[in-house]
Amino acid sequence: MPPWLSQLSSALTKESKLISSRWMQLATIGIDNTPRVRTVVFRGWTDSFEMEIYTDKRSQKYYELNVNNNVEICWVFINSKCQFRFRGTSIIDLGKDNLRHWNQLSDTSKSMWGWPKPGDHYIHDKEIESSFKGEEKLSHNFSLLKIEIKHVDQLIIRKPIHIRRKWVKKEEWIEERINP
Ligand X SMILES: Cc1cc2nc3c(=O)[nH]c(=O)nc-3n(C[C@H](O)[C@H](O)[C@H](O)COP(=O)(O)O)c2cc1C
Q: Which of 4, 51, 61, 75 binds ligand X (CB under 6 A)?
A: 61
Give the span between the Cα atoms of 96 and 80, in whole angstroms: 36
Check binding of 38 to ligand X (CB under 6 A): yes
Check binding of 35 to ligand X (CB under 6 A): no
101: nearest Cα among 25, 61, 59, 43: 43
The alpha carbon torsion through 3, 8, 10, 15 (nearest 10 deg) reads: 180
Check binding of 41 to ligand X (CB under 6 A): yes
DSSP string, 57-110: TTSHHHHHHHH--EEEEEEEETTTTEEEEEEEEEEEE-SHHHHHHHHHS-HHHH
Task: Find the part of the chain contacting ligand X (CB under 6 A) among 54-62, 91-99, 155-163, 168-176.
Answer: 54-62
Check binding of 40 to ligand X (CB under 6 A): yes
Check binding of 102 to ligand X (CB under 6 A): no
Q: How many residues does the chain have?
A: 180
Q: Which of 2, 27, 57, 59 binds ligand X (CB under 6 A)?
A: 59
One character per residue 106-125, x = contact with ligand X (rule: CB under 6 A):
------------xx------
- Contact assessment for residue 177 and residue 168, using Cβ atoms and an 8 Å cutoff: no
Q: Which of 21, 55, 98, 154 binds ligand X (CB under 6 A)?
A: 55
Give the span between the Cα atoms of 147 and 25, in whole angstroms: 13
Q: Which of 36, 150, 165, 169 binds ligand X (CB under 6 A)?
A: 36
End-to-end CA distance of the chain: 25
Task: Find the part of the chain contacting ligand X (CB under 6 A) among 58-66, 85-93, 126-134, 154-162.
Answer: 58-66
Check binding of 39 to ligand X (CB under 6 A): yes
Give least dist CB 124 to ligand X, A: 20
- Contact assessment for residue 145 and residue 65, using Cβ atoms and an 8 Å cutoff: yes
Q: Which of 7, 46, 60, 111 binds ligand X (CB under 6 A)?
A: 60
Q: Where does this chain bind ligand X (CB under 6 A)?
A: 23, 36, 38-41, 53-56, 59-61, 118-119
